[in-house]
Amino acid sequence: MIQMVTPDAFQIHLQKLPRQDETAIETIYALGNGHFGVRASNPLQGNSSHYHGQPGMFVNGFYDLTALSYGENYSGYAQHSQTICQLPDPRFIIFEIDGIRSDETPFDIKVVDKNLDMKTGVLFEIFDIQSPSNKQFRLTMQSFASHADAHLFVINYSVSALNFTGPITIIKQHPYIDQQIQTSVDDMRAAQRDLTLDRTFIDSPIPTMLISTRKSQLALIVAQQALNENTMQPTIVDDLPSYSKTVDLTAGITQSFAFAYAISYPHQLLDTTLTQAEFANSAKQRLTDQSFNELLNASTAQLAQFWQSSDIDLQGDPTLAQGIRFNLFHLYQAAGNDGRTSIAAKGLTGPGYEGHFFWDAEMFMLPFFIYTQPKLAKQLLLYRYQTLPQARQRARELAVKNGVLFPWRTINGEEASSYYPAGTAQVHINADIAYAVDTYVRVTDDQDFLLQYGYEIIVQTARFWLAYGHWATDTAHAGKFVIDDVTGPDEYTAMVNNNYFTNRMAQNNLSIAVKYGKQLRHTHPEKLIALDVTTAEIDQFNRAADNMYLPFDTQRQIKMQDDVSTTKPLWPIKTTPRNQFPLLLHFHPMTIYHYQVNKQADTVMTDFLFPNDQSAQQLRRDFDYYEAITVHDSSLSRAIFGILAHRLHQSDEAYRYFMETVMMDLTNAQGNTGDGIHAANMGGSWLSLIYGFAGLGLEKDSLNLSPELPSEWTSLRFNIWFQNRQLAITITQSAISVKLLSGEPFHFYLNHQPVSLTSDRLISQLL
Ligand code: BGC
């Protein structure tokens, strides 16, 4: 057994969590590494149809298609949904005692304990199991998804008898019963598709399964290798390639078995370059003579690098300190790092939202990666770059003659949203991606990325705005550039004219197309030629940005969510019974659209993203107005309101929002953690701490920090990367220090006052 010396703040102990249902626990303890994720399900019932949980593994980018059926199928509607496949659970194990097998006759299994060690990435679990013949034994499992080799999931099972002496047989094979996704058909946020996967098995040199999808024609190979401590040879059980061994459980003796699963990247089924046998051979070669500990050490070393760059050490509130680490750990587990995948709304921890990528990735999660794992951030943006052809095609499907339109929800780059008013109409996704590219370039100074990929994304999305919007001729908007018939982030308001957020983000998209266009005209004019960007086009971008219409309610002196938002009646939030939230599960969309009620931060997102746009008084008015009509039915809402409450010095409120954000999944606060983590909200907890309490932001060509800690905390420490230098920042109630860990000295701003980090590499200042 491995002893870990890890401080409490890096552990998630089941005994310390509030009571949860089984599926939420499966999500909380899910392990992953950006390539795949495995839910922490009951290891004996992984393929039983009686099991209430949702066992399984998810592989980033491995999905099947289902034809979307519409009673009225209009032109341009998305025709296929993409659904991430719920794959057989590699934790699954069969025990046989007295001739009774646990997969045929259920054994009684009790969870004794679970602990996630986030320093090593090891999930440690203890189960007490009783066979139908009343033989009791203890199963201890240690498992991890390797951070050193993205293909590996590794498990060690230890068995010791509790009330008997005698033989026990373990059988380890790829589960073969189709696992149904068991979610409520009444909740559109959950996944509801029945996918049939085909499998073929080979037994040599190690038990290996090829799983393929029927419509998307993707294939994945999973090979299983007993690690060297087992002395187990592959065999055939039930006609399936397996490992099996009978051991004697003499009192006091613990028998251990370790296995590694090698999980390939998805590839085209017809692609013959990667065959099942080749993959099995190479997995065997790589894993022969490897032990659980060796594989773990390599993974832990990689994880140590993650924590070195990405940890946040908050002193003064141990629950929060642990909660924030849990969120950072899950973000890391969720992020695709192969340039072909992104971060799903639920990470790789559950089937919710069918495993789709949304704006969540760029607007809520990417900042964490940009500042702490810039290489990974680049991979995430490359995914969008790779899908430009699909986005170009989508714009044409919508009869938009120029530019691209990224899909609202997708895995393969095509639109998968069947309800366009809250889907495709959220064209702000284009500007969100462009905003993320700009942030990435400004923070990393990765000019090469800008040149090769980033500018193309910015120009193509900017072109969309020119083509989709128009110059108004009516008196109310005369001379302005307007964007009609869109949906903003608030999904409780749809298909409006001039959504403030969309227009402001489009304005930014156009402005950065101008900014980088002018820069490249000097440094790389050939790039502009290659993209067909002319001076006249840059002028058009500029004119549309300068004249973008931004609705404003002059009577209330607030930014208006859209052209007519404040004219609608208010939804009676206070008198709506608690059990009728979230509203989307209880009211027809048109009922909701009829009122002023916000699902999530919308207009105030612009106050958050463009802090220099408004005075403190304006922010106060916007905040008060929109907070009163927001019900936070989306998990993406609270973090933004919390950050703004902090800016407005409403400390108690900011703290409450922050607490709810950080603890959302550990407490199952939204009630649907069982379907997977709320990854955007986890990113929101980083935003709250770093953009909020530490007051980090971009200023001119550098950084600004305007820190202010809640009175409950003694200190906040974190590292960030900024333009090829790593900084260690420590903030206390009364002082801040910024230390240059690597890279060149530079100047930045503290509370908007310029300071220089010179050759002594450390600045400490009283606040
Ligand atoms: C939110 C969207 C979000 C999606 C996926 C929805 O409930 O309204 O803003 O992108 O969930 O997290």
String of DSSP letters for 288-356: TT--HHHHHHHHHHHHHHHHHHH-EEEES-HHHHHHHHHHHHHHHHH---SSS----TTTTS--GGGG-
- For the beta carbon of residue 671, count every other beta carbon within 10 angstroms: 11
- Omega prior to 205 cis, within 30 of 0: yes
Decide whether any atom of ligand 1 lies within 6 Å of the 360 Cβ: yes
Decide whether any atom of ligand 1 lies within 6 Å of the 634 Cβ: yes
CA Rg value for the chain: 27
Q: Looking at residue 46, what is its pLDDT?
A: 60
Residue 737's Cα: distance from chain center in Å? 31
Separation CA 416–CA 68 (nearest Å): 9
Check pLDDT > 60 for residue 181: no
Q: Looking at residue 611, what is its pLDDT?
A: 96
- pLDDT tens digits for range 625-666: 999 999 999 999 999 999 999 999 999 999 999 999 999 999
* Locus of tokens 């339109």: 405
- pLDDT tens digits for range 728-750: 999 999 999 999 999 999 999 99
State the burial class of residue 120 (Cβ atoms within 10 Å of its Cβ: 0-12, 13-18, 19+): buried
Contacts 24+ apart (CB under 8 A), 392-399: 392/460, 395/464, 395/467, 397/76, 398/76, 398/424, 399/76
Decide whether any atom of ligand 1 lies within 6 Å of the 680 Cβ: yes
Q: Where are the domains of the chain?
A: 11-67+80-276, 387-574+595-618, 720-766
Q: Looking at residue 186, what is its pLDDT?
A: 72
Decide whether any atom of ligand 1 lies within 6 Å of the 354 Cβ: no
Per-residue H/E/C for 337-388: CCCCCCCCCCCCCCCHHHHCECHHHHHHHHHHHHHHCHHHHHHHHHHHHHCH
Separation CA 169–CA 131 (nearest Å): 12
- 96: β partners: 101, 169
For range 206-218, the mean pLDDT? 94
Q: Looking at residue 2, what is its pLDDT?
A: 41
- pLDDT tens digits for range 668-683: 999 999 999 999 999 9
Beta-carbon contacts of residue 113 (< 8 Å; ≥ 6 apart): 13, 14, 15, 124, 125, 126
Q: Looking at residue 40, what is its pLDDT?
A: 97
Beta-carbon contacts of residue 186 (< 8 Å; ≥ 6 apart): 585
Residue 517 sits at φ, ψ, to 5 deg, of -60, -45
CA 211 to each of CA 64, 235, 269: distance values in angstroms, whole numbers, following the listed order: 12, 20, 9
- Does an H or E element contain 436, and which? helix 428-444
Residue with CA at minimum distance from ligand 1 atom 7: 634
In 309-343, which positions are buried (b, 16+ CB within 10 angstroms) versus exposed (e)?
Answer: bbbbebebbeebbbbbbbbbbbbbbbbbbeebbbb
Q: Looking at residue 185, what is its pLDDT?
A: 57
| 557 labelled ligand-binding | no
For range 8-18, the mean pLDDT? 92
How far does the centroid of ligand 1 lie from the alpha carbon of residue 363, in Å? 12
- pLDDT tens digits for range 29-56: 999 999 999 999 999 976 566 677 888 9
Decide whether any atom of ligand 1 lies within 6 Å of the 600 Cβ: yes
Give the ligand 1 atom nearest the CA of 345. Answer: 12
Q: Looking at residue 319, what is its pLDDT?
A: 93
Separation CA 169–CA 254 (nearest Å): 14
Band (3; pLDDT cuts 50, 70, 90): very low
| 359 labelled ligand-binding | yes
Band (232; pLDDT cuts 50, 70, 90): confident
State the burial class of residue 69 (Cβ atoms within 10 Å of its Cβ: 0-12, 13-18, 19+): exposed
Band (113; pLDDT cuts 50, 70, 90): very high
Give the ligand 1 atom nearest the CA of 422. Answer: 8
Check pLDDT > 70 for residue 5: no
Residue with CA at minimum distance from ligand 1 atom 1: 634
Higher pLDDT, 118 or 239: 118
**What is the overall mean pLDDT for the chain?**
94
Decide whether any atom of ligand 1 lies within 6 Å of the 359 Cβ: yes
Give the ligand 1 atom nearest the CA of 635. Answer: 7
Check pLDDT > 70 for residue 272: no
Six token digits for residue 685: 């907890």
* Locus of tokens 């990393």: 444
Band (695; pLDDT cuts 50, 70, 90): very high
- pLDDT tens digits for range 121-154: 999 999 999 999 999 999 999 999 999 999 999 9
Give the ligand 1 atom nearest the CA of 353. Answer: 5
Separation CA 446–CA 636 (nearest Å): 29
Tell me if 56 sits within 8 A of 10, measured CB to CB.
no
Residue with CA at minimum distance from ligand 1 atom 11: 634
Check pLDDT > 60 for residue 227: yes
Separation CA 563–CA 634 (nearest Å): 23
The CB-side HSE value for 518 (13 A sphere, CA atoms) comes to: 8
Six token digits for residue 231: 């002395």
Helix orientation angle between 616-628 and 638-647, rounded to the nearest 10 degrees: 140
Residue 605's Cα: distance from chain center in Å? 19
Q: Looking at residue 73, what is its pLDDT?
A: 94
Decide whether any atom of ligand 1 lies within 6 Å of the 345 Cβ: yes
- 134: β partners: none
Band (190; pLDDT cuts 50, 70, 90): confident
- 553: β partners: 558
CATH of 11-67+80-276 given 2.70.98.40, 3.40.50.300, 3.40.47.10, 3.30.360.10: 2.70.98.40
| 119 labelled ligand-binding | no
Separation CA 73–CA 572 (nearest Å): 35
- For the beta carbon of residue 194, count every other beta carbon within 10 angstroms: 9
Q: Looking at residue 451, what is its pLDDT?
A: 98
Nearest residue to 3 (alpha-carbon basis) of 90, 162, 115: 115
Band (182; pLDDT cuts 50, 70, 90): very low
Separation CA 78–CA 607 (nearest Å): 33
Beta-carbon contacts of residue 47 (< 8 Å; ≥ 6 apart): 55, 88, 89, 92, 103, 175, 176, 177, 179
SS3 405: coil
Find which of 81-90, 264-273, 284-293, 305-314 is predicted with most confidence, using mean pLDDT.
305-314
* Residue 653 appears among annotated catalytic residues: no
Higher pLDDT, 501 or 268: 501
Q: In percent, how much of the chain has pLDDT > 70?
A: 96
CA angle (632 as vertex; 629, 638 as ends), nearest 5 = 110
Q: What is the CATH number of domain 387-574+595-618?
A: 1.50.10.10
Q: Looking at residue 329, what is its pLDDT?
A: 98
The best mutation among 349, 353, 360, 426 to test binding of ligand 1, ranked by most ligand atoms within 8 Å of the C-beta, falls on 360
The residue type found at 147 is: H
The residue ranges of DSSP E strands in 521-619, in sequence order, are 552-553, 558-559
Tell me if 661 sits within 8 A of 639, measured CB to CB.
yes
Q: Looking at residue 8, what is its pLDDT?
A: 86
> Is pTM beyond 0.85 here?
yes
Higher pLDDT, 173 or 572: 572
| 307 labelled ligand-binding | no
For range 609-630, the mean pLDDT? 98
* Locus of tokens 């998810």: 58
How far does the centroid of ligand 1 lie from the alpha carbon of residue 427, in Å? 14
Nearest residue to 66 (alpha-carbon basis) of 211, 214, 235, 256: 214
The best mutation among 342, 343, 353, 358 to test binding of ligand 1, ranked by most ligand atoms within 8 Å of the C-beta, falls on 358
Decide whether any atom of ligand 1 lies within 6 Å of the 489 Cβ: yes
Higher pLDDT, 288 or 298: 298
User: Which residue in the list 125, 362, 491, 660 is annotated as catalytic?
Assistant: 491
Higher pLDDT, 230 or 80: 80
